[in-house]
Each structure stands twice: as structure tokens, then as C-alpha cells.
């Protein structure tokens, strides 16, 4: 139902029928661990135990599947739990190719957790398809990418990567957290798996940790569903309820995030204290053409900028902003700002970090949906203090 409707309509209605017992318009929080059976093994739908199925979670799973244009959605306790479920598709000896400035926690999982189980990885700059092609080995089973990347906001051509990976027999997983389903739908470009950290734009209010996978293929869906239950890192009913509340406004929030970020990116680019601004919506972004092709409705709420004067300048700026809160995370209605080298990307070795361009003058903005004039005034005052 609703599959042929527009994004905003699906955001509000997909997966959510009035509650069958009362007609409640909002999906209730089914806070239960088990379900009563009429006779041994006679259960309603697949409701035998709430790790395997919960109606609140199921509504969110159907909602997110619809927003990504996928057939199956699966929700987990965090984005990293969703990542771990994907890795259960692999076995010891398999090789994975990661994009080079992947989310720090994703990198840590591959480097410190999955490696122990014999799953190896290489990192490549996937904006360079020759480099990607050269990274495949006979054991490569999965290609893992984010676009826009974190924190350098590189844009990877999903369609090109997916077609190359397919020719090599590898599964393509796209972490779509930064774009959100409102701006980019990787399944439509040939990706096999879409991951979201629901903690970010999908939640949008900085009050839930959650993760989701969306897929089209029956076989992959079945194996992920098995892992979701067998390994057990499920999303709780209350968090599912909060996220159903959030997705109803996703399109409206993301539209404002994009408008504000575009204004602020242009403002930053004109300031003498700023050495460089990275925003995929700007024509001076090296991959703007790819962004224009695969994103729709805007270029997101994330901006990265390098301040002249390195760490001392960045430190002063980050201490002086008032409306932008200095914090990790992103995608909430309130504006956040952070220093990747010291904060989100500290788990990456310094030489590696600098080699990929995460220097000490780099700051990352998660532009919220406040009044943009107030945000610009806040930035202006902090820049003046440098």
C-alpha cells in the first residue's frame, strides 16, 4: 500500500494501519516479550516471541522500506548493530573493500572486531574507480561505502560502483545515513543493502539510538532476518515508536536542513578566516556533478570547512560558538559542530587521518533547522574571535 505515492505521503502513512483492536490512528507501543498461542505452535502471523517480531517494530520496518523504495526493512538497536548483521552474511576468509573516510565506528568494527574472525578489508578512495577495481581480490565478497562520506563529504558514484562490484560478484552495501532516504535512494542505483543509523536524520531529535537495513533481494532479506533474530540486536518497541513519530516529518526537516546548509556554506566560503569549504551542493565541490545526478531535493545538512590557523584557530572557533553545540553526532533539529581529528575520527591513526585529509583545522557542521540568520550570526561572532 502507498508504494506509488509521493515521499511525504509514504513518510506519514506507509506501514501504519489503524490499530486493529481499537482503531487507534497511531501504532501502539507493543511493550510485550511474548504472545499467547491458542494451541501449541498456532500463532498469529509470525508473533511467537518479541525478539523475532514486534508490531511496533514491524510498522517502522515497513515504513523505512517504503521510504528507501525497498521491499524489506529490518531494524536494530543501533547503526553499528545493523552493520554487524550485514557482516554475518560473510564468513572467515572473505575480503571487504571500504571507502577510505568511512564512519569511524564502522572502521573500528572492521579493524578491531571482524578482523579477529578472519574477515579482512582494504580501504580505497572510491571516487577513483581504477583504484577500486585494483582493490578487488579473489576473496572480495562485499563493497561498503558511504556517500556523502564522513567527514570529507566526498561523493561516490553509487551506480558505477555497484556495476563494477556486480561484475566481480560482490554485494554492495551503502550507508545512506548522511543523505537520508529523503535525498538519495541507493537501491535504485543497484545497491544490494542500504544501512541507516536512525540515530541521525531519521530520528532527527537526538533522542534515540537505532539502526536499519533495507533490501530488495529475497535471499539477502531472509538471511538478515535470520541474523536479526538469531544474533538478537533488535530495536526496542519504544524506540520504534519514537522513530515512527520522526519519519512523519523527515521530508520537511531535511528540506530545511538543506536550505540552511546551502546558505551557510556560501557564507563560510566568503570569510577570510576560512581556507576551504566542502559542501556537495556548491559548484566548486569536485564531485558536484555526481551529487546532482544521484541526490534529489538538496545536498544535505552537513558542511566541512578548514579554518586558516590550524588547531588553535579551530579550538577558539569551537569554544566560541553558542547556538552550534560542540558534540559528536549529527542530523538532529539542533545545530551541532565538532572537530573530527580530536572527536569522531580519533580512532583512526594520526598519519592515516592526515593522509586522507582530516587535518587539525577541519571542523564539521551539522546544520540544524533553526533560523538561518541566527546561525550565521553565531558563526560570524566565533570567527571574529580567532
Ligand X SMILES: *Cc1c(COP(=O)(O)O)cnc(C)c1O
H helices present in the chain, as ranges:
7-13, 55-68, 79-87, 104-108, 129-135, 158-167, 218-231, 237-247, 250-269, 288-294, 310-320, 350-355, 372-384
- State which of residues 199, 294, 306, 366 lies at the interface with ligand X (CB under 6 A): 199
- State which of residues 74, 80, 173, 305 lies at the interface with ligand X (CB under 6 A): 80
From the list 74-82, 241-249, 285-293, 346-354, the region that binds ligand X by CB under 6 A is 74-82
C-beta closer to ligand X: residue 58 or 200? 200
Distances (CA, A) of 137 to 75, 209, 265: 31, 35, 40
The answer to whether residue 200 is catalytic is yes
C-beta closer to ligand X: residue 136 or 184? 184
C-beta closer to ligand X: residue 261 or 372? 261
Q: Give CA–CA dist 354/290, Å, rounded.
A: 25
Provide the 10 A C-beta neighbour count for residue 129. Answer: 16
- Smallest gap from Cβ 293 to ligand X, in A, equals 21
**One character per residue 231-270, x = contact with ligand X (rule: CB under 6 A):** ----------------------------------------
Catalytic-labelled residue, pool 94, 101, 157, 175? 175
Q: Which residue, 115, 186, 193, is CA-closest to 157?
A: 186
The answer to whether residue 51 is catalytic is yes
Catalytic-labelled residue, pool 5, 49, 51, 266? 51
Catalytic-labelled residue, pool 35, 47, 103, 121? 103
Count helices and strands in the chain by DSSP H and E runs: 13, 12
Q: Which three cell numbers stand for residue 278?
A: 566542502
**One character per residue 167-196, x = contact with ligand X (rule: CB under 6 A):** --------x-xx------------------
Q: Give CA–CA dist 280/259, Å, rounded.
A: 13
Residue 106 within binding range of ligand X, rule CB under 6 A = yes
C-beta closer to ligand X: residue 171 or 302? 302
Residue 200 within binding range of ligand X, rule CB under 6 A = yes
Residue 147 within binding range of ligand X, rule CB under 6 A = no
CA angle 260, 261, 266 (to 5 degrees): 105
Q: Which residue, 154, 178, 162, is CA-closest to 356?
A: 154
Per the CB < 8 A criterion, the answer to whether 22 and 31 are in contact is no
CA angle 301, 209, 173 (to 5 degrees): 70
> Any idea which residues carry the catalytic annotation?
51, 103, 175, 200
Residue ranges binding ligand X (CB under 6 A): 78-80, 103, 105-106, 146, 150, 175, 177-178, 197, 199-200, 209, 211
Amino acid at each position: 500500500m502507498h508504494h506509488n505515492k509521493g515521499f511525504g505521503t509514504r513518510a506519514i502513512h506507509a506501514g501504519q494501519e489503524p490499530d486493529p483492536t481499537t482503531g487507534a490512528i497511531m501504532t501502539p507501543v507493543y511493550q510485550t516479550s511474548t504472545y499467547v498461542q491458542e494451541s501449541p505452535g498456532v500463532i498469529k502471523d509470525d508473533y511467537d516471541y518479541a525478539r523475532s517480531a514486534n508490531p511496533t517494530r514491524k510498522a517502522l520496518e515497513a515504513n523505512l522500506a517504503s521510504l528507501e523504495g525497498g521491499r524489506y526493512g529490518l531494524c536494530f538497536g543501533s547503526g553499528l548493530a545493523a552493520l554487524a548483521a550485514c557482516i554475518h552474511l560473510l564468513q572467515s576468509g572473505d575480503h571487504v573493500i571500504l571507502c577510505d573516510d568511512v564512519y569511524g565506528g564502522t572502521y573500528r568494527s572492521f579493524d578491531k572486531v571482524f578482523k579477529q574472525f578472519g574477515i579482512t578489508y582494504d580501504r580505497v578512495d572510491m571516487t577513483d574507480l581504477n583504484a577500486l577495481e585494483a582493490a578487488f581480490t579473489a576473496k572480495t565478497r562485499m563493497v561498503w561505502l558511504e556517500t556523502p562520506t564522513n567527514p570529507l563529504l566526498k561523493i561516490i558514484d553509487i551506480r558505477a560502483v555497484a556495476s563494477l562490484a556486480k561484475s566481480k560478484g560482490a554485494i554492495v552495501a551503502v550507508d545512506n545515513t548522511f543523505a537520508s532516504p529523503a535525498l538519495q535512494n541507493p537501491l535504485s542505483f543497484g545497491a544490494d543493502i542500504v544501512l541507516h543509523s536512525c540515530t541521525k536524520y531519521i530520528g532527527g531529535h537526538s533522542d534515540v539510538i537505532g539502526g536499519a537495513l533495507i533490501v530488495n533481494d529475497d535471499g539477502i532479506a531472509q538471511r538478515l532476518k535470520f541474523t536479526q533474530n538469531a544474533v538478537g540486536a533488535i530495536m526496542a518497541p519504544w524506540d520504534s515508536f519514537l522513530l515512527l513519530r520522526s519519519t512523519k516529518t523527515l521530508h520537511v526537516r531535511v528540506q530545511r536542513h538543506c536550505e540552511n546548509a546551502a546558505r551557510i556554506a556560501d557564507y563560510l566560503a566568503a570569510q577570510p578566516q576560512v581556507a576551504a569549504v566542502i559542501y556537495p551542493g556548491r559548484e566548486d565541490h569536485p564531485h558536484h556533478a555526481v551529487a546532482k545526478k544521484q541526490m534529489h531535493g538538496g545536498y544535505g545538512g552537513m558542511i566541512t570547512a578548514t579554518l586558516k590557523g590550524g588547531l588553535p584557530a579551530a579550538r577558539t572557533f569551537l569554544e566560541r560558538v553558542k547556538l552550534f553545540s560542540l558534540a559528536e553526532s549529527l542530523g538532529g533539529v539542533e545545530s551541532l559542530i565538532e572537530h573530527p581529528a580530536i572527536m569522531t575520527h580519533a580512532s583512526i591513526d594520526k598519519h592515516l587521518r592526515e593522509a586522507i585529509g582530516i587535518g587539525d583545522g577541519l571542523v564539521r557542521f551539522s546544520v540544524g533547522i533553526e533560523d538561518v540568520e541566527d546561525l550565521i550570526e553565531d558563526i560570524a561572532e566565533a570567527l571574529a574571535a580567532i
